[in-house]
Structure 1
Amino acid sequence: MSYADLRELQSALNTASDIAFSLDAAPSPHEAEQLLDALRRALTAAGALGAGLGATGCAEHPKGPVDPLAGDREDPLPPGWGRCLLCNDRRRRAGAQRRGWR
């Protein structure tokens, strides 16, 4: 996810909101087309946000290292864990501290 994609999404949604709240009960074809254009921009920008996820599938570390244990069928990862080594390592360390391991 890039900052530019997020800003484009926010801008398009704000524009669509402004247009929608200023519409009359019977909007003109021009007003309806403007609203449709803003919503299309928002949809395109929203699609671009998810496209940035890399092999990890992690929003925080999309291009980070993949956990080699994520594909291990003999010792599967706990529910909710992904393929991101950085996030999984943080979870493992937090679990070890809760169990009293140092």
Structure 2
Amino acid sequence: MSYADLRELHSALNTASDIAYALESQPTAEEAGQIVDALRRALDAARALGAAHGATGCSLHPKGAVDPLYGDKEDPLPPGWGRCLLCNDARRRAGAQRRGGR
């Protein structure tokens, strides 16, 4: 986790909050735009915090693709599998080869 990203997240959320609480009943387009900008900054900072760990949780491919079948209740992943599409695809292919598939 980056301290700078966390500070940016706090700053952006505080800015958005300050603007929102100072609004009159009919905010101007400029005021609404300022809130949107602050919330976008907050979203970018939050994404940067999450990127440090990677969406996949995989040590080999922390920024790789997330397996779209992850968490599917109809077809749950086997125990020990994670969210990394690259690793799960390799596991699926290895399993197919062991079963005599292609």
Matches within 5 A, 1:1-102: 1-53=1-53, 57=57
Structure 2 Cα separation of the partners of residues 17 and 7 of structure 1 = 15
2:18 maps to amino acid: D
- Give the TM-score of the pair, scaled to structure 1: 0.53
2:46 maps to amino acid: A
Q: Which runs of 5+ in 1 are unaligned?
A: 63-72, 78-102
Shift of 1:50: 0.5
Q: Which runs of 5+ in 2 are unaligned?
A: 63-77, 81-102
Query: SS state of the match for residue 20, structure 1?
Result: helix
Shift of 1:24: 0.7
Flag as ranges the 4+ runs of structure 1 deviating above 2 A: none
- Give the TM-score of the pair, scaled to structure 2: 0.53
Q: Give the aligned length.
A: 62
Describe the superposition over 1:57-98 as per-residue Cα deviations: whole angstroms up to 9, x where unpaired. Answer: 4xxxx9xxxxxxxxxx8xx67xxxxxxxxxxxxxxxxxxxxx
Shift of 1:16: 0.3
1:25 maps to amino acid: S
